[in-house]
Amino acid sequence: MDEPREYPVPVASDEEVAAFITRYGTPYDPETDDYHREPFVADIREGKNDPIYNAHSYHTKVPPRAIIPYILHYTEPGDIVLDPFCGSGMTGVAAMICASPSKDLLQDQPGTKLGGRRVILNDLSPAACHIAFNYCRGSELSTATSQFDRIVTSAENDCKGIYDTFHIEPARGAYDPAKPEVSLRLRNSSGHLLLEGLEPISTCQCNWELIERADTEALLGSGVFSKIPLSTDVSCFIRIPASIVYTVWSNVH
């Protein structure tokens, strides 16, 4: 087995946090500060079927749409929001969405100033910090897409053998090896030259195999021809690689 991977947890030093607050924060001055907000009174009801919410599971998770109205009401664009128990980072996600929230979130807040808020997130759990950091970090769509493709390809390569199977067809009719479109796909045939009027075919598609009747019975089990309605005059079959996509279980009680 491969050794388990270690993922670094993003940690900001005290100096970096202090520099961040100095750069973006506004010191409170009781003599000049005129900050005032009426209590936010609204009925917040949000489900847990949001695609952002479902991107990664985490206990005690709050939908970001339930947090956005509070941030919009109590803060200004560019303000710093602190979440010392951030969990999966939904406060950070909500603060970012404040730059362009859904219109339905603004119905109860006329005059709300739109704009992203800066966030400091903290949690004792390294897993929480890892999830929160990756939820909130910037990412190009092309980068995310390439990483998704890489993960899917890796998973397919690791698990492909589990779902590999094959399909057998009599070498006649639509699967007659004399037909150019069939011959082109036979790996043990000499007919791999491109013929006029046919689409080019890649080497990986030349994976059909012409097999004898005895080999077919060896693959499918002894006595298969007595159970499957195949004509007795068929001497060759074509073995076609396939993958299991769905498995249907049928129980009879």
The domain containing residue 64 runs over which residues? 14-143
Q: Which DSSP state fits 185?
A: T
Averaged pLDDT, 184-211: 64
Q: Does 6 fall in a domain?
A: no
Looking at per-residue pLDDT, the higher value among 190 and 105 belongs to: 105
Q: Does 179 fall in a domain?
A: yes
Tokens in use for 146? 């390439």
Q: Does 238 fall in a domain?
A: yes
pLDDT at position 102 is: 87
Q: Are strands 236-243 and 209-212 parallel, antiparallel or unpaired?
A: antiparallel
**Range picked from 35-39, 48-52, 85-89 for highest mean pLDDT:** 85-89
206 burial level (CB within 10 Å; 0-12, 13-18, 19+): middle
Residues 19 and 98 in one domain: yes
Looking at per-residue pLDDT, the higher value among 67 and 49 belongs to: 67
What is the tens place of the pLDDT at every residue in 171-180?
A: 988 999 989 8
What is the tens place of the pLDDT at every residue in 69-106?
A: 999 999 999 999 999 999 999 999 999 999 998 888 88
At what angle are helices 90-97 and 64-74 packed, to 10 degrees? 60
Residues 98 and 185 in one domain: no
**By the 8 A CB rule, do 53 and 61 touch?**
yes
Number of folded domains that form the chain? 2
pLDDT at 26 over 50: yes
Residue type, position 98, single letter: C
Residues 129 and 49 in one domain: yes
Q: Does 251 fall in a domain?
A: no
Residues 199 and 138 in one domain: no
Residues 54 and 134 in one domain: yes
